[in-house]
């Protein structure tokens, strides 16, 4: 693994330099919400945004959004044709093709800002071929250990490679990972820490945010976590000399931001919430949010995960929850076998579960069993949520 191949093809395509600010967003959890908040605020301010995210829920096109619209099949085919010609005999991965397609299409459109989500880690992620004007790391936790390492310190060092010398580096963890801070200082990045350099305070119906030069009171609560919205606000204020944004645009962006698959309500009677939480940190936060929201009667949970994820640690927050579980394997080559999932449940002493052949069948059973005033939760993977939302 290296960036040499994708960097070579990117140079041939002339997609390494942009005439607008670039924001790179990495981290274990919260990347998508932070990207969406940035795009919503800049969109509300009238700027044309190019947004690259991963993975997609239903359609590949979702990964590349220009001025609020997903790119067309024709545009993608044009980009892939250009990449195929430029690469010649150079081999590229799926994600490298996707990243180059995004950069190619962003270059063809006159944009005011480009927002790039890091797919995996940072150091060897294809997005890291681009030198961003602002880099954000949302959180660092244990995930993708086969690529990134087995500790937060190892993983943090990998993610911190998106920082650049002399450029703002924003870091969001309340429990700071030393390697992230050290990496930023070692390369001479301008480090901004949530809780030290900028802050947010939640009230019952509003929230407040401030840093050294800005103070916003009584902001509308977004559908995303305030932790992630706060990181986006810090980036927006740092880029204000190049991209001025009014307080009204900030409020409008916060009020309208939406992220598919993140604590998303997809039905009302019964209430069904879907969330792509697929690691211990995200699962714990999902449990906190749902507990805070509350539910009536019994909770019905449709669940599955990939074999590469830490299922036991992800299930721990739910161990004592009064819920009925609906288990099924995912349609993916990395899917955890159903019996392996059942073994996890038995080990944790969770016995109120039923097994199904597919997530779709599990979800239909949950809807049939849940009373109109009860709640269904679907989580564990992007694939789990996609199987429900695509149906």
**Per-residue pLDDT reduced to its tens digit, 323-378:** 999 999 999 999 999 999 999 999 999 999 999 999 999 999 999 999 999 999 99
On whether both 109 and 185 belong to a single domain, the answer is yes
Q: Identify the pLDDT of residue 44.
A: 98
98 pLDDT above the threshold of 80: yes
> Where do we find the tokens 């995303």?
224
On whether both 252 and 268 belong to a single domain, the answer is no
Prediction pTM value: 0.92
Kindly state the average pLDDT of the residues 134-141: 96
Q: How far is CA 87 from CA 80, 92, 102, 251, in A?
A: 10, 8, 16, 44
142 pLDDT above the threshold of 80: no
Q: What is the pLDDT of residues 253-297, one digit of tens each?
A: 999 999 999 999 999 999 999 999 999 999 999 999 999 999 999
On whether both 150 and 229 belong to a single domain, the answer is yes
Domain end point (choices 236, 256, 276): 256
On whether both 24 and 96 belong to a single domain, the answer is yes
On whether both 226 and 156 belong to a single domain, the answer is yes
- Count of other CB atoms within 10 angstroms of residue 254: 25
On whether both 98 and 180 belong to a single domain, the answer is yes
Domain end point (choices 229, 256, 283): 256
Q: For the domain that residue 145 is a member of, what is the CATH number?
A: 3.40.1190.10
Domain end point (choices 225, 256, 287): 256
Instruction: Identify whether the C-beta of residue 238 lies closer than 8 Å to the C-beta of residue 21.
Output: no
148 pLDDT above the threshold of 90: no
User: 213 is in which domain, residue-wise?
Assistant: 4-256
On whether both 214 and 278 belong to a single domain, the answer is no
Q: What percent of the chain has pLDDT over 70?
A: 99
Picking from 113, 342, 71, 382, the residue whose alpha carbon sits closest to that of residue 243 is 113
């Amino acid at each position: 693994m290296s960036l040499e191949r994708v960097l070579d093809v990117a140079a041939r395509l002339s997609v390494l330099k942009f005439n607008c600010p670039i924001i790179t967003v990495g981290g274990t959890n919260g990347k998508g919400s932070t990207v969406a908040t940035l795009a919503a605020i800049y969109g509300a301010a009238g700027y044309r945004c190019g947004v690259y995210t991963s993975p997609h829920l239903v359609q590949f096109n979702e990964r590349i959004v220009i001025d609020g619209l997903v790119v067309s099949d024709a545009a993608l085919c044009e980009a892939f044709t250009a990449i195929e010609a430029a690469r010649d005999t150079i081999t590229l991965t799926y994600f490298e093709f996707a990243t180059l397609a995004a950069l190619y299409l962003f270059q063809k459109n006159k944009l005011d800002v480009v927002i790039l989500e890091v797919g995996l880690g940072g150091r060897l992620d294809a997005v890291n071929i681009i030198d961003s004007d602002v880099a954000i790391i949302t959180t660092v936790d244990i995930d993708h250990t086969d690529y990134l390492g087995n500790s937060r310190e190892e993983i943090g060092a990998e993610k911190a490679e998106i920082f650049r010398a002399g450029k703002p580096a924003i870091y969001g963890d309340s429990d700071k990972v030393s390697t992230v801070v050290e990496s930023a200082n070692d390369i001479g990045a301008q480090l901004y820490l949530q809780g030290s350099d900028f802050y947010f305070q939640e009230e019952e119906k509003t929230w407040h945010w401030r840093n050294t030069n800005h103070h916003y009171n009584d902001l509308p609560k977004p559908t995303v976590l305030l932790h992630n919205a706060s990181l986006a606000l810090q980036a927006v204020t740092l880029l204000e000399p190049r991209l001025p944004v009014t307080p009204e645009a900030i409020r409008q962006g916060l009020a309208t931001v939406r992220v598919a698959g993140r604590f998303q309500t997809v039905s009302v009677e019964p209430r069904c919430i879907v969330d792509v939480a697929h690691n211990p940190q995200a699962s714990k936060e999902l449990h906190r949010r749902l507990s805070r929201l509350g539910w009536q009667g019994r909770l019905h949970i449709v669940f599955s995960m990939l074999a590469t994820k830490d299922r036991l640690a992800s299930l721990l927050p739910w161990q004592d929850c009064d819920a009925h579980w609906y288990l099924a394997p995912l349609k993916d080559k990395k899917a955890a076998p159903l019996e392996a999932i059942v073994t996890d449940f038995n080990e944790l002493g969770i016995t109120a579960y039923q097994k199904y052949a597919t997530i779709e069948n599990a979800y239909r059973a949950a809807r049939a069993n849940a009373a109109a005033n009860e709640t269904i939760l679907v989580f564990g993977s992007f694939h789990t949520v996609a199987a429900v939302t695509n149906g």
